[in-house]
Structure 1
Amino acid sequence: MKRTINPMKRRVPAKLKIIIASAVGIVLGILGGAIAFPGAPAKIDTVTQKFSSTSHDGDIDYGEMHSFTHDNVTSNYRIYDTGLDYSRTIGLVVRLHGDGEDEFDDPGQGLSSMAEVARSHNMILIVPLDPSADNDYAWWKPSEGKTKWLRALIEQQLSDHPYINQHKIWWMGYSGGAEYLAQKVLPKLSPLVTGGAVMVSGGEVSELQVLPELPHKLPLYWVVGRDDVPEATLENFDAVGAALKGYSTYTTQGYTQTSFSLLLGHDHFDMPDSDILEAALSGTMEQLVADTAVEEG
């Protein structure tokens, strides 16, 4: 059956059945406790404004939207922090969207279900909107103050939610968000990546200009669809090649818990993001790959 590409999403992947996974548990056994992050922004530089409350439309959870300003850079973010068990450890998932603002504006495209997965693991989900509107809200495109804004946002969240276990911070990026996660967040914001990182439909790094100060046993996942080929996308982006380059670069630099997974029956525009997040958080990525192979028949 021929798939129709959804132009509301953007960017690309390709073919094969591979999973090179090194799954192992991480023993970062210190619960809670404050971590001093270098370069934390002064309170006077930061403004957070809540302008809409949590809302639901049928089964869609829109979360709670806020505006955040740091050093004259302003953008919005959604936070999903309801239904948590505060008697247990609480973690954090940061989701970086693909090119454009469609995913952010329409939580029905997947944010609602990802929030449910995060909630099932007693984790808050935060979804920042890329602050560079002049660059089509594309995380991978350079923009003045973008990374500093993102650092300040997450540090502010940790300050506002002191019950978050700062050793349980996960990141997940899709397409352009995966590129930015692998190229900028891991090298430059490594103290804020303490649980693991998931690059979906992207995550290219040809070489590391700055070696991330990450524990070498931190789980790093690259996940793409087998049918995510350049000719099937809007911009001829080779997501499979990008993911392989990122996976290979980090692996050769000594990161021992890296994995590359190719999902059969999926392309750039229909990746099962909530299933991928669940597999990463529960350490069952191999099972997800096997399940897609069975579905493909």
Structure 2
Amino acid sequence: MKLPSFRLPSSALPAAVLAGVLMTGTAVATAAPAHASTTNTAYAAAGISSQYHLYDAGVDRSKAVGVVFYFDGDGQYYAQRPTASMLKTMAARAAAKNMILVVPVAPANRSWTANSEVVGDWFRALAAKIVAEQRIDTTRIHLAGYSGGAEFISTEVLSDRAGWIRGGGATIIGGGGVYYGGLETAPDAALRATDPTWYVGSQDGYGATQPANWSALEAAGKGAAAYQKAGFAKADRVVLPGLHHTNYNLPGLVGDDVDRLYPTTGTTVSPTAGASEVNGFELKGAIGSRWQTLGGSSWATPVSAEHASGYGSVYQRFVGTDGREKAVYWSRATGTRVVDYGGAIGRKFEAAGYATSYGPPSSDEARTADGGAYQMFDAAGKRTKLMWSSATGARAVKEYGAIGKRWAALGHERGLGYPTSDEYSTPGGMAQKFTGGRIEWTAATGAVRVIKN
């Protein structure tokens, strides 16, 4: 991640390129394009040559087609790996709302923020090409970016000559500042009506990434404020508890925004027997039944559709009447369980990578006799217990490992106490600290030693 460069004078786009972008409605093309999923397609404009990837599997061309443009962070980790599961997951989330995913690759220096004005001209030309060739409905344009890509959206794509966007929104993750006053080009009414949201981790401040004197948390605040001042009434910053610069769920954040902003579009799905729809999202099956049991809308309102997660689970996100974000998970092995992301245990689960790390929850959160709390998670038989107390915070005990097994045999928190650390490496193996002592495991021998305070 680099700070945005000082801007160079704008270079006008060729008239033929600008003519390719319609100011309202859907781009004109002589015939609907064939399915066009492709990677590493070369494209040159504005004196720059780079590539882009396009994903359209599952898109119904007989209906209005939208687009998600995703700008990866400086360094282009995912953009350089077009077959990565992250991009495939994001593409599937987009396709569920009948939107293609386009991933432009930053130029040779792998930075969106170096010489961003000229790079912006290259992207605007590419966007015109995509809109025209793919017959994109320009009222369904979604911008998404992480770190340097987030900065590129806030300082260039939405800021300068963005009148080609007639509706949609933006998911701006881990950055997205505005540093030179207001927007470069005055936004029209259609652009101001779009919904840009800045998502940033509470720990993504100074020193969380390079350069050390740049704070994504501060940048996101500056960006949201600048766009609000420019008349974007829906612009907002969302601070995600416990997240650092490198543990965002990128396809989850983008996919959930796409679900939220485009609830009535996409391919037709036959209704599920007994399903209901609230806030534009279908509630069905075991998750819908659990939602009803918990109180339905008096408990929480859905903010996403059901989506697949780790270890054969599915989940659906909600916002409770208490204002806290929650999720209901289901898997054949664990049943239907609730994770409260507004609590310390839920934030710990989220920061670790959701069900892809600990597995889906195999219990709801429960209280201990002395005022603490715990929740069990199961990753294909590997059980992890997240423990919390007001004195220790939330920590993970791997009950499938030698340390976790010994702690459980000692009586859980009633024996050696609550964990005060997660497991950590030692010169000879692993160890974990508890309020009543420490458990050490030696790799060479498999021996487990308990050292009480």
TM range (shorter): 0.7 to 0.9
Kept in 1: contact 2:39–2:53 (CA 8 A): yes
- Aligned partner of 2:226 among 249, 254, 272: 249
Cα separation, 2, equivalents of 1:222 and 1:42: 29
Structure 2 SS opposite 1:65: strand
Q: Does 1:191 align with 2:226?
A: no
**Deviation per residue, 1:163-182 (Å, 9 max, x gap):** x2121111111111111111
Q: Does 1:208 align with 2:182?
A: yes
Structure 2 SS opposite 1:83: coil
Structure 2 SS opposite 1:190: coil
Q: TM-score, normalised by structure 1?
A: 0.74
Structure 2 counterpart of 1:150, one-letter code: F
**Residues 205-284 of structure 1: matches in 2 within 5 Å?**
205-206=178-179, 207-210=181-184, 211-213=186-188, 215=190, 216-236=192-212, 237-283=214-260, 284=303
**Residues 126-141 of structure 1: matches in 2 within 5 Å?**
126-131=102-107, 133=108, 136-141=109-114
Deviation at 1:71, TM superposition (A): 4.1
Deviation at 1:227, TM superposition (A): 1.8
Cα separation, 2, equivalents of 1:89 and 1:67: 26
CA distance change for structure 1 residues 221 and 38 in 2, over 3 Å: closer, same or farther?
A: farther
**Deviation per residue, 1:116-152 (Å, 9 max, x gap):** 1111111000000112x2xx31101115731221111
Structure 2 counterpart of 1:82, one-letter code: A
Structure 2 counterpart of 1:170, one-letter code: H
Cα separation, 1, equivalents of 2:171 and 2:142: 8
- Aligned partner of 1:86 among 61, 70, 91: 61
Larger deviation: 240-249 or 189-198?
A: 189-198
CA distance change for structure 1 residues 282 and 99 in 2, over 3 Å: closer, same or farther?
A: same
Structure 2 SS opposite 1:148: helix
CA distance change for structure 1 residues 148 and 253 in 2, over 3 Å: closer, same or farther?
A: closer
Q: Which has the higher contact order (CA 8 A, sep 6+)?
A: 1
Deviation at 1:274, TM superposition (A): 1.1
**Deviation per residue, 1:159-216 (Å, 9 max, x gap):** 2112x21211111111111111111111224123331112111110142152333532
Kept in 1: contact 2:18–2:125 (CA 8 A): no
Cα separation, 2, equivalents of 1:110 and 1:176: 18
Q: Does 1:121 align with 2:170?
A: no
Q: Does 1:160 align with 2:137?
A: no
Kept in 2: contact 1:187–1:213 (CA 8 A): no
Structure 2 SS opposite 1:102: coil
Structure 1 counterpart of 2:106, one-letter code: D
**Residues 36-185 of structure 1: matches in 2 within 5 Å?**
39-41=15-17, 63-107=38-82, 108=84, 110-131=86-107, 133=108, 136-142=109-115, 145-162=118-135, 164-185=136-157
Structure 1 SS opposite 2:158: helix
CA distance change for structure 1 residues 209 and 187 in 2, over 3 Å: closer, same or farther?
A: closer
Cα separation, 1, equivalents of 2:15 and 2:45: 13
Deviation at 1:101, TM superposition (A): 2.4
Structure 2 SS opposite 1:187: coil
- The structure richer in helix per residue is 1
Q: Where does the alignment leave 5 or more consecutive residues of structure 2 unmatched?
A: 4-12, 20-35, 261-302, 305-316, 327-340, 349-453
Deviation at 1:40, TM superposition (A): 4.2
Q: Where does the alignment leave 5 or more consecutive residues of structure 1 unmatched?
A: 1-9, 13-36, 44-52, 55-62
Cα separation, 2, equivalents of 1:172 and 1:75: 19
Kept in 2: contact 1:11–1:233 (CA 8 A): no
CA distance change for structure 1 residues 123 and 188 in 2, over 3 Å: closer, same or farther?
A: same
- Tell me the equivalent position of 1:24: none
Kept in 2: contact 1:11–1:268 (CA 8 A): no
CA distance change for structure 1 residues 95 and 192 in 2, over 3 Å: closer, same or farther?
A: farther
**Structure of larger gyration radius:** 2
The number of equivalent residue pairs is 243
